[in-house]
Amino acid sequence: MRASRFWAARLLAMALLCAALTPLVLADDQTDDGATDSTAAAGAAATAPPAAPRRAPVIQLRPQDSWVLEVCALTFLATFLANLFIGRRRNEQLALAWTSELVAADGVLDRNFSLLGPGDTAAGEVLLKDSMHCYKFWASGRRFCKGMLATFNLVRRQDLLAWAVMALRGQKDVLELEVRVNEGAMPPLALVIAQPAIAREMQQDSADVKALCKRLEPTRDRIAQWPERLTVLAEHSSIFYDLMTPQLLDLAFGREAFQALRPYLRYLHVTSEAPEGPHSHVVRLSFALPPPGDTATLNKLLVLALLLVDLLGSYKLSPEQEKRAREARQKREAAEAKQGGGGQADERARRAEERRLAKLEAEKERLRRLPPDQREKELERKQKIQMRRQMAKFAKKG
């Protein structure tokens, strides 16, 4: 019994030993096989001829099929830059040429205004450049008005695309005259005489025309020679007929006289309620510039604006007209307050402040032009007036 147990234990120990040694034998066999394979590969590499060295890949660009797009882009850019230079020079030449006509000795403006130009620049500098297509000219020193601002709104020749669009539309060079009338020299009124298309635009865009004016058809018994296709927008028909004097009809608005001005006149706007700008009482005349050298047409249009200023300076409304004008403006203010309230009130306050500042600037300019002794006397007089006003305020408080 003891011998059988001994042999059973011995057999179990031998079985366990064989199981432990079997993976090592297999691993040795695999290692030997790998070594044999690597040795064979090394021998084959040693006997094979040497491989040729690898070259870097050659990168080639596909040749350009066409350069049309690039050539067109460069051509357009060159044309745009050349047009910018040429158009700017052309507008400058036109503005200088027409300004020379305006300031000519013994011309219309020279006879009517005492100062041509802003007055604070070097001698001969009367034209101010606002942009490449906008130039301004100022004249002052005339009765019934603070001055006249002439604005050249020329075709945008410096902008190739804008120039092409304006050429297709038939747009022309325009001169706009704005005579800033003294408030005491113009009664409350609004009047527009314009080409039909421009009159429709002003009815939609201009606040005073939209609120105060209505279309008027001049009757043949009052003005027999009124031209066709000329729209009238007036606050009252009586104002229109009063201002259309025989002198004004013979100059511009008679049928025969207007034939010469029809290609040029765009609109005439007379208002005491100008919706934009620091001045509320203005006479605006806009017309296309006549051909170079046509000073007769230019002078006729200048005389038209100045003659209308003289007519307004001596024109008075009847009590009934003043009452209707006051009621119309009160109705307009009430409608604005009902619609927007604060917006319109702020706008009126802003315009009033702009007018006040403009008056202060004009007074400073007037004092600057006075001789030193007169300037001192004027300043002393103003100081005395200011002191009296302050004393009156203190007296009221007390």
341 domain-assigned? no
34 domain-assigned? no
Q: What is the DSSP string of 204-247?
A: HH-HHHHHH-EEE---TTT-TTPPSS-EEEES-HHHHHHH--HH
188 domain-assigned? yes
Q: Is the pTM of this model over 0.75?
A: no
pLDDT at 85: 92
More confident of the two residues 266 and 371: 266
Residue 156 identity (one-letter amino acid): R
More confident of the two residues 333 and 24: 333
pLDDT(348) > 50: yes
End-to-end CA distance of the chain: 146
112 domain-assigned? yes
pLDDT(387) > 60: yes
Task: Give 163-190 pLDDT, tens digit per residue.
Answer: 888 888 888 999 999 999 998 889 999 9
pLDDT at 178: 94
Residues in CB range of 362: below 8 A, 6 or more apart: 146
Quick one: pLDDT band at residue 62, thresholds 50, 70, 90?
confident
Dihedral (Cα; 352, 355, 360, 365), 10-degree rounding: 180
Count structural domains, the chain. Answer: 1
91 domain-assigned? yes
Average pLDDT over residues 241-261: 91
108 domain-assigned? yes
Least confident of 52-66, 86-100, 171-185, 312-326: 52-66
46 domain-assigned? no
Least confident of 207-211, 212-216, 254-258, 340-344: 340-344
Quick one: pLDDT band at residue 285, thresholds 50, 70, 90?
very high
Instruction: Identify which of 247, 139, 251, 268 has the alpha carbon closest to the alpha carbon of residue 192.
Output: 268
More confident of the two residues 337 and 5: 337
- Cα(16)–Cα(216) distance, rounded to whole angstroms? 128
pLDDT at 5: 60
Q: Which residues pair with 178 in a beta bridge?
A: 149, 284
167 domain-assigned? yes
Quick one: pLDDT band at residue 13, thresholds 50, 70, 90?
low
Residue-range definition of the domain harbouring residue 316: 87-321
